Amino acid sequence: MTESIEELCRGARAGDFSAASELVAATYQPIYAYLRRLCGHDETAADLTQQTFASVWRSLQNFDGRASFMTWLHRIAHNVYVDWRRKGNRLDAQSDDWWETCAVDQPSPFDRTAERDAAHLLYAAVEQLEEAQRVTVHLHYYQGLTLQETADALNIATSTVKYRLRNALDSLKARMAEPKLRV
Amino acid sequence: MNEQTIEKLLQKAPPVRTPAGLRKDLQANIELPRCATTHHGPRITNHVFRRWLPTLGFALWFLGCVVVFGLQASRIAELKRANESRQSSLASVEQNQAVQDRAQWLAKELEQLRKDAADVQRLRAEAELLRAQAQEVATLREQNQQLRAELKSQATPPPKPEEDFIYETANRRARTKCINNLKQVGLAARLWAHETKTDAMPNRWSDMIDHLGGPERALKYVGCPGVAPYEILSFGAPETDPTVVFVRCVAHNIVGLVDGSVQQLGDKASVIQKDGKWVFTRVAE
């Protein structure tokens, strides 16, 4: 998959429109999911995705291949999201229903109802984290990037990623241990 | 809930459902860079030019530096040559100056040698003249001796004084004059001793000049006129001893004592040196 994305990227850089179209088809879903989870609104996430890929086409010639294309793409999406936040936009709180509806067409990954409820509480707790920790958790756990890729996407050191994740897990563990949230 | 459980739940986050038309919209909005498709050739040229622009700029700058360096080097070489030529000319001028100085020095030396030679010639001539004069003096001396010998042989005994009235008169006048002079000298000496309160005779003739009537008049008292100067025997002698002889006239054999008196020497009186003093003594009969 990674090699094919890199090949498509090279084709798009060479001006192959079909390669660019395939590249969009292969990468737009995780980017949209990332932005949707962060901003909490469908249309906003779609707009941010459009801005992300517009920026990709503008900067595609500058892509030097030192990081993977997906990492580079996440970095652009993160910058677009940060610009959007700087304009004063607020986050929409994720409701439990959204977590239900977002996976309505797919089989639930949770085997038990109790586990599903705990997961919903956990995801809600993630949205309550500090912004830097929240973004880091999204990239590493939700988007499945490695520590190095997360660090490259956020343009920070790997040790900083580890530090943020450690703090995030501690915070989540503490919140999940609270009586009201305990399952 | 432990960390492993939290991490598992986070990794199981359900995927997000994407809007239906998003994919088509994204694909429709693809805007690939033109450089990769239509304007490939010129952009490559532009790209190549941009890529090589710093190098070309540096090359032009370096070439300019080389040209400037070459011009400066040629200018420096030209200046060095001019400097060398000037130094050589200056050295020749200095050499000529040294030669001229040497020539002037030699000319001065030659002039000095000529002067020295002329002096030597003049001194030789003077030496010859002196030799000639010396020979002449020797000759005259021999002649003088011969004449003296002849005069001795032909001399006639002088007439006796008592027989020569004119001689006796002139001698008596001269003796009187000598006595007066010696009295004046003795008086002047005593006046000097009195003024200076030393109770001693003067130490030189000049001490008595004022008491002898000034320099011109003092010349009359320094000796017998036309005969011989007086002889001071006891400069600085104390005037307490009246027998000490102060001044003597050798021609008339008269002495002046420190007490101012004048005595005639002869058969009955004489001057002797006693304890370093010239003393007037009378011969006992």
* pLDDT, tens only, B119-132: 999 999 999 999 99
pTM (predicted TM-score): 0.46
Two tokens at B252?
């008339």
Q: Using a CB-CB distance cutoff of 8 angstroms, which residues of chain A are in contact with residue B25?
A: 46, 50
Q: Do A126 and B10 touch (CB under 8 A)?
A: yes
Segment A79-103 shows an average pLDDT of 72
Nearest to A22 by CA among B276, B191, B27: B27
State yes or no: pLDDT of A182 exceeds 50: no
Nearest chain A Cα distance for residue B73, angstroms = 47
Q: How many CA atoms lie within 13 A of B61 on its CB side?
A: 6
More confidently predicted of B116 and B281 = B116
What ipTM is given for this predicted complex?
0.81
Residue B39's pLDDT band, with cuts at 50, 70 and 90, is very low
Q: How confident is the model at residue B116 (pLDDT cuts 50, 70, 90)?
A: very high
- Facing residue for B26 by CB, picked from A49, A126, A176: A49
Pairwise CA distance, residues A152 & A158, whole Å: 8
Tell me the range of A132-136, B212-216, B219-223 where mean pLDDT is highest.
A132-136
- Of the partner residues A33, A115, A169, the one whose CB lies closest to the CB of residue B6: A169
Q: Is A109 on the interface with B (CB under 8 A)?
A: yes
Torsion of Cα atoms, A100 then A104 then A107 then A108, to 10°? 0
DSSP labels for A100-154?
Answer: HHHTTTS--S-SSHHHHHHHHHHHHHHHTS-HHHHHHHIIIIIS---HHHHHHHH
DSSP 8-state class, residue B13: P
d(CA A155, nearest CA chain B) in Å: 22
Angstroms from B12 CA to nearest CA on chain A: 6
Q: Are B257 and B243 in contact (CB under 8 A)?
A: yes
Is the predicted pLDDT of residue A140 greater than 50, yes or no?
A: yes
Which residues on B lie below 8 Å from A17 (Cβ)? 30, 32
Residue A53 binned pLDDT confidence (cut-offs 50, 70, 90): very high
H or E segment at B173?
helix B165-196
Q: What percent of chain A has pLDDT over 90?
A: 52
Q: Higher pLDDT residue, A2 or B71?
A: B71
